[in-house]
Chain A
Amino acid sequence: MNIDLFAQLTISGIVLGSFYALLGVSFGLIYQTSKIFHLANAIPFAAAGYGAVWSASTLHFPLWASLVFGLAVALVFGLLILILGYFPLINRNATLLSLFLVSLGLTIAFPNLLQIVFGTQNLPLQTFGADGELGSAFDNKIFTLGFMTITLIDVLKVVVAWLVVLAVVLFVNRTRSGRSITALRTNPTMAAAVGINSRRVYILVFGIGSVIAGLGGLFVTAEFVASPSMALQWTLIGFIAVFFGGIGSLTGTALGGLILGLLSQWSGLFLGVQFAPVVVFAALFIILLVRPQGLFGKAAV
């Protein structure tokens, strides 16, 4: 085995896996609490990217402000989906399948909406410099150690992802609002009996989940571009991380994402890179077969 190659793939796997963990926690928090297959989590992901690009190029926001604006846009879109899309259906006792279909429809429509509003062009994140000209917003430095390389944005991805995972896990386990989330997740009937307002909890988890998805969108936009179809591929990986790592466990979801990232990169040691998705799905299949609750999930009693 080529040790250099293994080391580089491990670094790439950690970067990719950390990003999967971030997206997994975003979806996992929403799914575990509401049981809604919120495929439309792709919308705040893309909305954040477009919000950042638009505010930087049109409102002349500096980089930090455009990123904050992007997150705000993600939050707004996430809550709008909940309030205008899901709540009316929940009021009518709609099934989970109905909610999923709404989510799917929104996910399909949104890229087309972006295409109509912003065009089909890829939009890089550019800010106005001191010379008044639009230029690259982010200097993605490359760090080299022998054979191995890693970029600044990769380092940021890893650090931000695990800080967010830690913050969400602590929030859910250590705060009063977080315990409401746990109560609603584990026993909705009892939670309602003790006065927990499920709608408020939904708003809370959709808000947090949307902002985290927005963070993902900002990373992709800063590293590459914003484009109408930028979100779905990443969002789906987040879903898979949830079921791979473990339903009911945010920590498990995050670790599941990390393992998925490592597996997809390590597969390059033995197979062509085009087989990485096959390896990921094979691993998912085996895990669901052997441990339906996921790698780190708790079996239902």
Chain B
Amino acid sequence: MQRKFMGRKALAVGVVFGLSGLLAACSSGTTSSETSAAPAATEAAASAAPAATEAAASEAPAAAGTCINDVFGAGGPEAGQGVTIPAGMLLAVTGQGSFFGDVMSKGALLAADQIREAGGMDYQITIGDHQSGDVPTAITETKRLISQDGIEVLQTSYGAPSEAIIPIFQEAGVLTFNGGGSSPAQLNQDLLYMNRMVYAEDPAPGALAWIHQTYPDATKLALIGTMENGVGTFKETAPAAWKALTGGEIVAAEQHDVGATDFKALAAKIKAANPDAIMTFSFGDDLGYQVKALREAGITVPIMMDEFTSQAAKIGGSAYDGVNFGVDFYSTANPNPWNQCFVAAYQAKYGEDPEYYGSNYYEQVFIVWELVKRVIAAGGDPNDAAQLQEALLADPTFKSVYGGDASTVGMVALDKVDHSISKPMGVFEVQGGVPTLITEIHKIKNGDDPMTALGPVQ
């Protein structure tokens, strides 16, 4: 009896610590709690989700290739018809960030459909699940995509997992794009290109300059960040820019785990520091919980965010009214002809508007298509990632759904050296869950006067 009791007790203690570990992973956000415990189950779920997406895709055909042909020219063998590109996507299919995986895959799948219908390459997508940022899972999934699915192109997401898989795709010679969690550690990496401005680092000086211009009396700044993305900006770039702009000080600097939902203590500490303005480098749903807690704590000073998602805005509710964010923000209203073609096709296929992340992964597929066409034109092998990269470096400018105007398609440029991108950025204000552009900002070099980040690229 005693032995039975002890056994039960040992089981209880063992399980409670197992669960504690699960919770720690859960609250850290870098591991998706509901998925890390049983990979087999999540594999099934992961494969089910893309299958559902594929099914949805076949039910509602994508818009005809005509508007794509208007923008990109005629299809045919020169446009890659007959060429199959096995591609992988490493996304948050399950876990807290599943929304991001969903919209990213939707963007890429739509692009693949449109290109095929326009007489271009056959871009075959296989989706891997990093379970909302779990690094070991990301490594396993990347190896699977490379060894089993033979991918030649990879569209990755999130910061930490993308940094972890760099040696793997470099060794395998897989051309890789990240349009989600861009970070300084991913700069200057062979075969890796980011088509999102570097998270926090690029927009922060312009966003802070806008705060200084709009609220000239503000000298005390509070910073909020995670321990994952934008850490360098949180610790160095933003404090230096604020000092240069105002001569003021950072009165509070609070970091939190990714995936946190309880920000009451953080809000109380920020309030106690009595800042004139707040800049937060948090991202995802965390922002919604955070802004809500800040406003409910009675903090009324300006809040500048570094990301906007409709998902977080739903959590924030009315607390989001009046907050600002500075980012390379995507707008469905942009009259750029390709963008309007994209928006119409996305709405027809999925019954919803595209957003920031979906548009980035949509564009990546078109970048690959452009590279395939260039390699074919040069008589090369479009299934060779080295040749695709060579074509990219020869001319790193590409058409874009960002920028442009009613008669002109936007253009973006990848940096030949650090492989980052230059895109239009802006400071926006949110009202009723809808962002409105306040002013344009642009990337500046280290050491430049942050005020020069205001306005469009000269």
- Give me the interface of A with B, judged by CB distance under 8 Å: 2, 4-5, 8-9, 12, 15-16, 35, 37, 39, 96-97, 100, 104-105, 107-109, 111-112, 115-116, 119-124, 136, 140, 142, 144, 147, 149, 151, 224-225, 227-229, 232-233, 236-237, 239-240, 243, 247, 264-265, 267-268, 272-274, 276-277, 281, 284, 288, 292, 300
Contact = CB atoms under 8 A, between A and B. Distances in A.
8 tightest CB-CB pairs across the interface, nearest first?
A: A112-B45, A268-B265, A12-B264, A236-B23, A120-B99, A8-B268, A120-B102, A5-B272
The interface centre, meaning the residue of A105, A112, A228, A276 with most chain B CB atoms within 10 A of its CB, is A112
A245 B42 CA distance: 33
B20 interface: yes
B298 interface: yes
A233 B261 contact: yes
A9 B268 contact: yes
B41 A273 contact: no
B26 to A, nearest CB: 5
Interface stretch (B164-172, B285-293, B362-370): B285-293
A104 B34 CA distance: 9
7 contacts: A96-B11, A108-B34, A116-B52, A144-B298, A151-B296, A273-B266, A277-B24
B24 A12 contact: no
Given A108-B41, A225-B315, A273-B254, 15 more contacts: A5-B272, A9-B264, A112-B45, A116-B48, A122-B288, A124-B314, A225-B314, A229-B33, A229-B34, A236-B23, A240-B20, A273-B255, A273-B256, A277-B27, A300-B5
B283 to A, nearest CB: 15
B394 interface: no
B72 to A, nearest CB: 30
Interface of B: 5, 8-9, 11-13, 15-16, 19-20, 22-24, 26-28, 32-35, 37-38, 41-42, 45, 48-49, 52, 94-96, 98-99, 101-102, 227, 254-257, 259-266, 268-269, 271-272, 285, 288-289, 292, 296-298, 311, 314-315, 317-318
B253 to A, nearest CB: 9
Contacts of A236: 19-20, 22-23, 26, 33
Contacts of A151: 296
B296 A243 contact: no
A8 B265 CA distance: 8
Given A120-B102, A149-B297, A232-B33, A112 B23 contact: no
Contacts of B269: 5, 268, 273
Contacts of B296: 140, 142, 149, 151
The interface centre, meaning the residue of B15, B266, B292 with most chain A CB atoms within 10 A of its CB, is B15
A interface, by DSSP: helix, strand, loop or mixed? helix
Contacts of B315: 122, 124, 224-225
Contacts of A2: 272
Contacts of B261: 224, 233
A265 B257 contact: no
B23 to A, nearest CB: 4
B349 to A, nearest CB: 15
B23 A240 contact: yes
A288 to B, nearest CB: 6
A236 B296 CA distance: 26
Nearest to A39: B19
A108 B35 contact: yes
A147 B12 contact: no
Contacts of A120: 98-99, 101-102
Given A4-B272, A274-B255, A136 B317 contact: yes
B265 A276 contact: yes
Nearest to A237: B23
A287 to B, nearest CB: 11
Contacts of B102: 119-120
A229 B19 CA distance: 16
Contacts of A267: 265
B265 A12 contact: yes
A77 B99 CA distance: 25
A102 to B, nearest CB: 12
A151 to B, nearest CB: 5
A243 B48 CA distance: 36
B275 to A, nearest CB: 14
Given A104-B37, A274-B257, A288 B262 contact: no
B103 to A, nearest CB: 8
Contacts of A115: 45, 49, 94, 98
B48 A224 contact: no
Nearest to A231: B34
A268 B16 contact: no
Contacts of B27: 233, 277
